[in-house]
Amino acid sequence: MLYGLSRPTADVDVLEIAPRAAADAFSQVAMLGGPLFQKYGVYLDRVTVAQPPYEYESRLQEMFPGAFHNLRLMALDPYDLALTKLERNIERDRSDVRYLARAIPFDLELLRDRYQQELRPYLGNPKREDLTLQLWIEAIEEDRAV
């Protein structure tokens, strides 16, 4: 949403950076079927599969500064967001990355560097993800050539 990609959904994907006790208490209120959902029709979906780059927390961007008294909603940097989609690599992820690459537009060297330095060392199958990233970059370059 922050970068202009809108996809109708009732969930907000969440990577937790709050202390565990606070996160657990908040998730009780914000989970599917909880008070937040009952009142506003929206819920938080704790992301457990995506691997963010190592230093992602230092690049988080506040989405609605000053809008809430006791809550800060932060968004991943667009490069970090793209890289969290690398391992799953389903069609929706590839589409999102191509959109981000056009909207920002991506500096492909920065994307490669962040992958190499902050994500690749933590992946279970880095050779597969190397190939996936290369295919993504080729697709982005094709889009730019048109």
What tokens appear for 97 in the block? 């990355």
Q: How many CA atoms lie within 13 A of 103 on its CB side?
A: 16
| Helix, strand, coil fractions of the chain, as percent rounded to 5 | 50, 10, 40
Whole-angstrom distance, CA of residue 27 vs CA of residue 54? 24
Query: What tens digit of pLDDT does each residue of 49-84 get?
Result: 688 999 999 999 998 888 888 777 888 999 999 999
**89-96 contacts, C-beta under 8 A, 24 or more apart:** 89/132, 94/136, 94/139, 96/5
The more confidently predicted of residues 34 and 10 is: 34
CB within 8 Å of 48: residues ≥ 6 apart: none
**Domain ranges (residues) in the chain:** 77-145
pLDDT for residue 15: 66
Question: Is-contact 56 81, C-beta < 8 A?
Answer: no
Q: Is the pLDDT of residue 122 over 90?
A: yes
> pTM to 2 decimals?
0.82
Whole-angstrom distance, CA of residue 20 vs CA of residue 52? 18
Residue 105: asked if its preceding bond is cis (omega within 30°), the reply is: yes
The percentage of residues in the chain with a pLDDT greater than 70, rounded to a whole number, is 85
Q: Is the pLDDT of residue 133 over 80?
A: yes
**Average pLDDT value for residue range 31-42:** 82
**Average pLDDT value for residue range 32-40:** 83
- Chain-wide mean pLDDT for the chain? 86
